[in-house]
C-alpha cells in the first residue's frame, strides 16, 4: 500500500473521531442551556476555560518529544515510552499535590465571595482536578497508539469516551428526573439523593468518561516498566520545554482576542460583540477540525519517514495535498456559510408578534473569511514545523509562536477600538500568516525541504479569489457559491489526476 494512501486513511479515521467529539460538544451546548441554570453554565464554562492551558502544561510537550525520540532511539523504544510517560506523570502529580495543598484558596478564588456554595465548588474542583490528571495520564498511551499506526483503536477509545459523556449527561439531567416524576421503579430511591439542575452531574459525567478511558488504555499502560534513563530524560526535557512554551503561546494567541475585546470595547457593546465573534468563529472552526485531524496523523508519520532518503519529497507531496484539501474546504465553508449559520446561530430573521427581528449574530459573518484563511495558514505552519522538530531546534517554535502572539496583541490593541471583532479576525490571519512565512524561510535555511511553492501559492490565491467572489460579489448565494466550489474542486482533481491515480493504485 502507498504510504500516502495509508496516511490518508489514518488521517480520515482521526478526523472522524475529532469531528464527532466537536459535534457532540456543539450538541451538548443547547442541552446544558435547557437543563442547567445560567449560573451553572457559567461555572462549567469558566472552569473548562482553564483546561486548555492546564492540559498543555501537564503534557509538557512530551507528545512531540515522544515521536522524535522514537525515531532517534529506535533500538530503545520502551525506554522512550517510559521516560515520556514518567515526565507527564511526575508533572501531573506535582500539579495535583500543589492543587490539593492550595485547594481552599482555589475554591475561594472561584467562589468570588459566594461562600454559601463552598461545598458544591469543592466537589466541582475535586472532579475537575481528577479529570485533568486522568486525561494527562492518557496522553502518552494515546501517542503510542498513533506511533504504532493504530488509528482505529485510537478512534474507538475516543468515541467511547464521548459516548459515556453523553450517556451520563442525559441520564442525570433528563432520565433521572423523568423517573422520579413518573414514579418509575427506582425513582423513589433516586429522589433521596438527586439534585435537580445541578452542574455537578456534568463534572461527574466527564470524570466517568475519563476513568473509562484509563481502563480502555490499560493494555498500553501495563507495558510500562520502572526503567528510567536519566541522561535520555534530560535530553528529552531540553527538547520538550520550548514546545511547551510554544503550545501555551498558541493557546493564548487563540483566546486573548476575546479577552481584549471584552476589556477594550465600551461596556454597553462588549459582551454583545464578544458573543457575536465567538459564535461566528465556530463556523470557521470546521476547517480547524481538519487541521487537528491532520496533525494527529502527520506528526508520527513525519518522524517515521525522516530516515528515508526521499523524506523531503514525501513531506513536499503531503504539503501539496494538504493545501489543496484546505483550499477546497475553505471554499466549501464560505459557499454554504448561510446554511451553517442557520444551524449554529439560528435563522437570519424571525417574526415576533408581526415584527421582523434580525438575528444579531448574522452581523458578524464577515469575520468568517479571514478566520478561515487564518486556520489555513495555521495548518500550513503546523505542516512546515516538521523542520525544527526533526533538526532538534524546537526553540524556533517558541520564537515563531512568540512573534505570532506579539502580532496578535499589537494589532488587536491598535484596531479593536475602531473595528471591534473584525480587527480580531484580521489580527488572527495576520499572525498565522506571519508564522507560516517565518517557518518556511527559517526552515529552508536550516532544514531545506523541496516544497512546491508556486503550485501551493496558486491554489491558495485561487481559493482566496473564489471566497471573495462568493462572499462579497455574489452576496453568499448558496447556488453560485457551490457552483464555484464544484468548478474549483473539479479543476483540482483534473490537475492532480496523475498523482491521485498513483495513490489509488497503491504506488
- Give dist(CA 179, CA 182) in Å, integer: 5
Compute CA 14 distance to the chain's CA centroid, rounded to the nearest angstrom.
Answer: 13
Quote the pLDDT of residue 40: 54
- Give dist(CA 404, CA 399) in Å, integer: 9
The cell for 141 is 498511551
Q: Report the pLDDT averaged over residues 19-39.
A: 65
Q: How confident is the model at residue 1 (pLDDT cuts 50, 70, 90)?
A: very low
pLDDT digits 0-9 by tens, 337-383: 998 888 777 777 777 666 767 777 888 899 999 999 999 999 999 89
DSSP string, 311-367: HHHHHHHHHHHHHHHHHHHHHHHHHTHHHHHHHHH--SEEEETTEEEE-GGGGGGGG
Q: What residues have CB less than 8 Å from 393, skipping those under 6 apart?
A: 387, 446, 447
End-to-end alpha carbon distance in the chain: 7
Q: Report the pLDDT averaged over residues 462-488.
A: 94
- Give dist(CA 174, CA 203) in Å, integer: 16
- Give dist(CA 505, CA 507) in Å, integer: 6
b/e per residue 348-373 (b: at least 16 CB within 10 A) = eeeeeeeeeeeeebbebbebbbbbbb
Q: Report the pLDDT averaged over residues 283-303.
A: 80
pLDDT at 251 exceeding the cut of 50: yes
pLDDT at 504 exceeding the cut of 80: no
Within a 10 A sphere around the Cβ of 196, how many other Cβ atoms? 10
pLDDT digits 0-9 by tens, 146-164: 888 888 898 889 889 888 9
For residue 103, give Cα distances in angstroms to 3, 123, 124, 441.
50, 11, 11, 47
Q: What residues have CB less than 8 Å from 341, skipping those under 6 apart?
A: 280, 283, 348, 361, 362, 365
**Cα four-point dihedral sign 170, 172, 177, 183:** positive
Compute CA 419 distance to the chain's CA centroid, rounded to the nearest angstrom.
Answer: 27
Residue 73: φ, ψ to 5°: -120, 60
* Contact by Cβ (8 Å): 343, 331: no
pLDDT digits 0-9 by tens, 441-457: 999 999 999 999 999 99
pLDDT at 38 exceeding the cut of 60: no
The cell for 292 is 487537528
Q: How confident is the model at residue 113 (pLDDT cuts 50, 70, 90)?
A: low
Quote the pLDDT of residue 396: 93
Tell me the HSE value of 52 on the side-chain side, using a 13 A CA sphere.
Answer: 13
DSSP conformation class of 76: G
Compute CA 295 distance to the chain's CA centroid, rounded to the nearest angstrom.
Answer: 10
Quote the mean pLDDT of the chain.
85
pLDDT digits 0-9 by tens, 220-245: 998 887 677 888 888 888 899 888 88
pTM above 0.85, yes or no: no
pLDDT digits 0-9 by tens, 190-203: 888 988 888 888 89
Quote the pLDDT of residue 333: 93
- When mean pLDDT is compared across 276-285, 310-319, 478-487, the lowest value belongs to 276-285
Amino acid at each position: 500500500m502507498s504510504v500516502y494512501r495509508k496516511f490518508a486513511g489514518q488521517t480520515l479515521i482521526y478526523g472522524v473521531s475529532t469531528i464527532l467529539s466537536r459535534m457532540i460538544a456543539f450538541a451538548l451546548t443547547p442541552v446544558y442551556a435547557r437543563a442547567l441554570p445560567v449560573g451553572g453554565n457559567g461555572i462549567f464554562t469558566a472552569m473548562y476555560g482553564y483546561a486548555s492551558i492546564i492540559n498543555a502544561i501537564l503534557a509538557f510537550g512530551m507528545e512531540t518529544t515522544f515521536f522524535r525520540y522514537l525515531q532517534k532511539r529506535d533500538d530503545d523504544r520502551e525506554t522512550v515510552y517510559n521516560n515520556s510517560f514518567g515526565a507527564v506523570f511526575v508533572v501531573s502529580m506535582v500539579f495535583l499535590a500543589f492543587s490539593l495543598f492550595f485547594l481552599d484558596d482555589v475554591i475561594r478564588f472561584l467562589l468570588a465571595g459566594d461562600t454559601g456554595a463552598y461545598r458544591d465548588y469543592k466537589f466541582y474542583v475535586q472532579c475537575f482536578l481528577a479529570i485533568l490528571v486522568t486525561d494527562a495520564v492518557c496522553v502518552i498511551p494515546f501517542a503510542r497508539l498513533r506511533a504504532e499506526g493504530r488509528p482505529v483503536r485510537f478512534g474507538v477509545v475516543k468515541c467511547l469516551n464521548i459516548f459515556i459523556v453523553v450517556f451520563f449527561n442525559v441520564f442525570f439531567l433528563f432520565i433521572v428526573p423523568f423517573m422520579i416524576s413518573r414514579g418509575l421503579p427506582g425513582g423513589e430511591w433516586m429522589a433521596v439523593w438527586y439534585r435537580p439542575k445541578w452542574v455537578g452531574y456534568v463534572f461527574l459525567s466527564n470524570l466517568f468518561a475519563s476513568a473509562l478511558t484509563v481502563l480502555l488504555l490499560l493494555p498500553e499502560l501495563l507495558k510500562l516498566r520502572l526503567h528510567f534513563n536519566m541522561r535520555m530524560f534530560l535530553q528529552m526535557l531540553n527538547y520538550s520545554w520550548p514546545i511547551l512554551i510554544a503550545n501555551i503561546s498558541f493557546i493564548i494567541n487563540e483566546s486573548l482576542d476575546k479577552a481584549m475585546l471584552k476589556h477594550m470595547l465600551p461596556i454597553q457593546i462588549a459582551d454583545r460583540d464578544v458573543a457575536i465573534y465567538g459564535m461566528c468563529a465556530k463556523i470557521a472552526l470546521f476547517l480547524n477540525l481538519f487541521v487537528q485531524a491532520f496533525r494527529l496523523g502527520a506528526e508520527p508519520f513525519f518522524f517515521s519517514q525522516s530516515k528515508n532518503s526521499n523524506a523531503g519529497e514525501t513531506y513536499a507531496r503531503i504539503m501539496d495535498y494538504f493545501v489543496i484539501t484546505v483550499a477546497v474546504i475553505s471554499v466549501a465553508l464560505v459557499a454554504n456559510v448561510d446554511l451553517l449559520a442557520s444551524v449554529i446561530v439560528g435563522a437570519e430573521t424571525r417574526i415576533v408578534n408581526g415584527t421582523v427581528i434580525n438575528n444579531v449574530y448574522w452581523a458578524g459573518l464577515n469575520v468568517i473569511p479571514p478566520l478561515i484563511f487564518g486556520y489555513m495558514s495555521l495548518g500550513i505552519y503546523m505542516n512546515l514545523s516538521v523542520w525544527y522538530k526533526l533538526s532538534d531546534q524546537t526553540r524556533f517554535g517558541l520564537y515563531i509562536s512568540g512573534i505570532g502572539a506579539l502580532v496578535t496583541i499589537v494589532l488587536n490593541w491598535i484596531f479593536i477600538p475602531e473595528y471591534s471583532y473584525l480587527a480580531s479576525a484580521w489580527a488572527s490571519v495576520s499572525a498565522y500568516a506571519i508564522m507560516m512565512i517565518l517557518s518556511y524561510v527559517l526552515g529552508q535555511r536550516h532544514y531545506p525541504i523541496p516544497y512546491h511553492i508556486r503550485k501551493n501559492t496558486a491554489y491558495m490565491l485561487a481559493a482566496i479569489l473564489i471566497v471573495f467572489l462568493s462572499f462579497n460579489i455574489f452576496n453568499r448565494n448558496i447556488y453560485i457559491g457551490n457552483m464555484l466550489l464544484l468548478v474549483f474542486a473539479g479543476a483540482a482533481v483534473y490537475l492532480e489526476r496523475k498523482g491521485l491515480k498513483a495513490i489509488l493504485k497503491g504506488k
